[in-house]
């Protein structure tokens, strides 16, 4: 195994994924101030990795090696002024404009020696491609982007196994065993890159257990939740703590949601109770705003079908981490659960779809609303091309939102094969369809390259292994 410095060791994984190969040059003397590649010279310095296509706004990690494959210190830069940015660690952030740009690594040891590589930055194709299937069938699982650019898939109704998706190879590899099945749980990123798994259900038992996964050391147990929870929400606070809100405390057809909340402290590994929401909620969303407060929106109060009231909420509230209290805020136009809430680059929150009692002849919404923290109000923002509930919403690197699959008829579980790319500025979508599967209760994870990994879910029966990449 090659020896590398600590600074470069974390950069060994290719975080961008592409179809072609870039070219490399080792140059001595002068440079290229206008994007012209310097004259070839002995390979004193190499800029790695070879890459092809990342998306506008995507991320690529690069590093420098000598001819023997040893990582060496170098200063990184982008040749074109409009070609994006690269930091001291070699993390390249692509610009918002498509094109071919050139990265440069200048040796910190030999004056005048540098290497350059071309990087293609492209717009989204609005297309799907099939990639390797997961090793295990999964639905109601979690998928979390890790610091090295891989994706951790955990749990689901069908499996206790963990696996990681490696963008560089397009393969899934084993990552451990939870010890017991866990589904309808939540996965949250901790400071330092660990993943906290909380609650969920196994069989007929709702869990109060929690585990932390860390790359290199695997799984470890942490303190128990203050209450059993499934189908709850988990939100990462600005200070690194994790807020858990609502959820169902038990399984069954007449179980009421809880209004309680609690906080996980990574420093102590323990959970402590926090304030109570004004309404009991499950199937709600919890989204961190730019000022650190958490927007809690929608949800319902029970799983009840017969003999007891089932209330679905249009209300919303704000959690203040400084005080641990919830206060009312604006109200959505539609009551809904199983919807999505996506923080936009301008600080507003996009609400889409969900199951609702407010529509005639259907219980699935196609409406889109936007919450503005400056006014505390929700306003209409167009409609989706298809009604969706229990779908996914992923912010793309170009500011649009990918709305993928979902139910088309509430609890009737008619899964959708369609996806759409919604533009919040224009309030309109571009529609596409998978010719391989319908699905809901799947996951969608934006890779550092900008591509989106769609994994697992169900077509209405058991979990599936099929995986697609949105590009």
**CA separation for the pair 27, 194 (Å, rounded):** 40
pLDDT score, position 69: 85
The CA–CA distances, whole Å, from 83 to 30, 76, 122 equal 20, 13, 12
- In the predicted model, residues of the chain with pLDDT beneath 50 are 1-43
Look at the alpha carbons of 333, 338, 342, 347 in this order and tell me if their dihedral is positive or negative. Answer: positive
pLDDT score, position 291: 97
Q: Exposed, middle or buried, 267 (CB in 10 Å: 0-12/13-18/19+)?
A: exposed
pLDDT score, position 305: 59
Q: Exposed, middle or buried, 1 (CB in 10 Å: 0-12/13-18/19+)?
A: exposed
Total-model pTM? 0.89
pLDDT score, position 11: 34
pLDDT score, position 111: 84
Which architecture characterizes domain 184-331 according to CATH? 6 Propeller (2.120)
Give the tens place of pLDDT for each residue, 10-44. Answer: 333 333 333 332 333 344 433 333 333 443 333 46
- Ordered alpha helix ranges (H), 363-418: none
Q: Exposed, middle or buried, 82 (CB in 10 Å: 0-12/13-18/19+)?
A: exposed
Q: Where are the domains of the chain?
A: 6-122, 184-331
The CA–CA distances, whole Å, from 223 to 226, 227, 333 equal 9, 12, 39
The residue assigned the tokens 């958490």 is 294
pLDDT score, position 384: 97
Q: What is the DSSP letter of 258?
A: P
Structure tokens at 113: 């020696």
Sheet of strand 151-154: strand arrangement: 142-145, 151-154, 161-166, 171-177
pLDDT score, position 283: 96
**CA separation for the pair 259, 35 (Å, rounded):** 58
Are 198 and 229 in contact by the 8 Å Cβ rule? The answer is yes
Are 78 and 94 in contact by the 8 Å Cβ rule? The answer is no
**Residue 412, C-beta contacts closer than 8 angstroms, at least 6 positions apart:** none
pLDDT score, position 309: 64
**ω into 178 cis (within 30 of 0):** no
Class of domain 6-122 (CATH, top level) = mainly beta
pLDDT score, position 258: 97
Residue 42, number of CB atoms within 10 A of its CB = 9
Residue 207, number of CB atoms within 10 A of its CB = 22
| Paired sense of beta strands 114-122 and 53-55, if any | parallel
């Amino acid at each position: 195994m090659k020896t590398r410095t600590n600074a470069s060791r974390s950069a060994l994984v290719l975080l961008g994924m592409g179809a072609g190969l870039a070219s490399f040059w080792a140059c001595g003397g002068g440079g290229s101030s206008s994007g012209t590649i310097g004259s070839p010279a002995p390979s004193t310095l190499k800029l790695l990795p070879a890459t092809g296509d990342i998306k506008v706004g995507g991320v690529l990690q690069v590093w420098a090696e000598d001819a023997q494959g040893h990582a060496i210190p170098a200063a990184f830069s982008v040749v074109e002024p409009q070609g994006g940015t690269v930091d001291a660690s070699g993390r390249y952030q692509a610009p918002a404009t498509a094109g071919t740009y050139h990265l440069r690594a200048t040796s910190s040891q030999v004056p005048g020696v540098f290497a350059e590589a071309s990087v293609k930055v492209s717009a989204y194709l609005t297309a799907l491609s099939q990639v390797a299937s997961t090793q295990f069938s999964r639905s109601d699982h979690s998928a979390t982007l890790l610091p090295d650019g891989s994706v951790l898939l955990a749990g689901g109704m069908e499996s206790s196994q963990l696996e990681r998706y490696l963008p560089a190879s397009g393969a899934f590899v084993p990552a451990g065993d939870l010890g017991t099945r866990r589904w309808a749980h939540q996965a949250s990123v901790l400071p330092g890159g660990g993943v906290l798994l909380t609650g969920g259900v196994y069989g007929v038992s709702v869990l109060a257990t929690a585990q932390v996964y860390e790359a290199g050391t695997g799984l470890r147990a942490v303190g128990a939740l203050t209450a059993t929870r499934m189908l709850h929400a988990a939100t990462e606070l600005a200070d690194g703590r994790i807020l858990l809100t609502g959820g169902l405390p038990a399984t069954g057809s007449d179980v009421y949601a809880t209004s309680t909340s609690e906080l996980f402290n990574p420093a102590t590994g323990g959970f402590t109770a926090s304030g109570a929401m004004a309404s009991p909620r499950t199937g709600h969303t919890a989204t961190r705003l730019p000022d650190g407060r958490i927007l809690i929106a929608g949800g319902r109060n029970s799983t009840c079908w017969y003999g007891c009231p089932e209330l679905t909420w249009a209300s919303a509230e704000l959690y203040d981490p400084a005080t641990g209290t919830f206060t009312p805020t604006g109200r959505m136009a539609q009551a809904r659960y199983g919807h999505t809430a996506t923080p936009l680059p301008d600080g507003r929150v996009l609400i889409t779809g969900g199951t609702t009692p407010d529509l005639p002849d259907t219980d699935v919404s196609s409406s889109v609303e936007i919450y503005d923290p400056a006014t505390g109000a929700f306003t209409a923002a167009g409609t989706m091309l298809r009604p969706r509930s229990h779908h996914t919403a992923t912010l793309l690197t170009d500011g649009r939102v990918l709305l993928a699959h979902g139910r088309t008829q509430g609890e009737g579980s008619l899964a959708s094969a369609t996806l759409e790319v919604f533009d919040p500025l224009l309030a309109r979508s571009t529609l596409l369809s998978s010719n391989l599967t319908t699905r809901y209760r799947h996951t969608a994870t934006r890779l550092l390259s900008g591509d989106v990994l769609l994994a697992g879910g169900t077509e209405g029966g058991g979990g599936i292994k099929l995986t697609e990449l949105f590009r």
